Amino acid sequence: MIEKKFRWYHYFMLSFHAQMAIVLGCMMVWLIQFVVYSTIDRPVMVFDGECEVTVGPVRDNGDVYSGAWMDCGGETRGLDDLEVTYLYNTLTTGLEPVIVCAKTESKFLGNISWECELDPQSETEQL
């Protein structure tokens, strides 16, 4: 016959149901916090204006990057989705399109969002 050893630490353990109740309670508190902060969080406009574009190598913290880069209110960032259209318009028409950007930062969550438009006043459709 197998003899069971005395396991004193079993007396300090909560039941499975109690453990699940604690986990679900924590998840509910987290969900409530997320909903509250996402509904009361209002984005704050940090920058709204025209950006200057540099085509070619750009130094950023000692690293050199190639491509097209925007300087928006003292902050340098890549053109990303607008890069191909910007370079196409610059090289084919000889004109430099206007890029208007708005940077918003949420007050509580700290999310940063950039929204940029190429030639917002232009009536022609962009490629």
pLDDT tens digits for range 58-105: 776 777 777 778 888 888 887 777 888 888 888 888 888 888 888 888
The residue that leads in pLDDT, 118 or 59, is: 118
**Same domain as 73, residue 50:** yes
**Same domain as 66, residue 27:** no
Range of the structural domain that residue 34 is part of? 8-40
With a CB cutoff of 8 Å and minimum separation 6, the contacts of 84 are 127
The pTM assigned to this predicted structure is 0.54
